[in-house]
Amino acid sequence: MTDRDPLLDPELDPAAMRKQYRAEGLAEQDLASHPMDQFARWFEDAARAALHGTVYEPNAMVVSTADAAGRPSSRTVLMKQFDTDGFVFFTNYGSRKARDLAENPHVALLFPWHPLARQVIVTGTARRTGRDETAAYFRIRPHGSQLGAWASAQSSVIASRAELDAAYADLEARYPEGEQVPVPPHWGGFRITPETVEFWQGRENRLHDRLRYVTQPGGRWKAERLSP
C-alpha cells in the first residue's frame, strides 16, 4: 500500500486520467458483409500487434454470464476458435460460468484491445461443443495444461494451494510427459452463437465509432450505427 493520496496526485486519480484516441475511424462502407469476416480483419490486426508487443493475448475475452436469478459474473477467458458460426472457449463444466450457462444460455463477450483503441462486444447464446471437437482441442494442449484440467475442480472451495499442488503431482506421476492423458468428462467447450456484434473504434473527444451487426431472419445481418 502507499501513503500517497490519489485525490492529491493526478497520476493516481481515476477522474484525472485522460487519453485522447486519435485512431482512424470506422465507416459503414468499410464493413464486411458478415460480422465474423469483420472480426477476422480486426483479430488479424490485434494478432499482428501482439507480435510487436503492443497487444497482450489478443484472444483474451471477458465472458459475462448470469445465473437463473439474473446475478451476473465476469471473467477473462481465452478464445480458442472462431468461424462463421461464432466463438469457442473451453472450461471445466463444473465452473461457475458453466453452471450459469446451464441455467441461462445468454452470454456477452468483450475483446478489449486497448492499445488499438478497439473493442468488440458480442451478445449471443452458448451451447456445449461435441465431445469429438473437445477431444481434438484437448489433444493439442500442453501436457501440463492437460493435467491441470484434471487437477482443478474449477470454482470449488479448496483448503490450500498445497492441496492443488499435491493433486497435480499425483497426476504428473500417473501420466508423465509423453503419456496420453484422457480427456476429462467434466471438461469441454462452449460455442457462442452471436446475435449482435459491435465494433467499437475510439475517436477524438469521446465521439467514438460504434457499428453493430444485428442478426435478421434468414441468417442475414443488419449493420447500424450507435451514438457514442
Query: Is 174 marked active-site?
Result: no
Alpha-carbon distances, residue 125 vs 100, 159, 178, 201 (angstroms): 12, 35, 37, 25
Catalytic residue among 18, 22, 161, 206, which? 206
What is the C-alpha separation between 160 and 71, in angstroms, rounded?
28
Q: Where in the sequence numbering do the catalytic residues fall?
A: 206
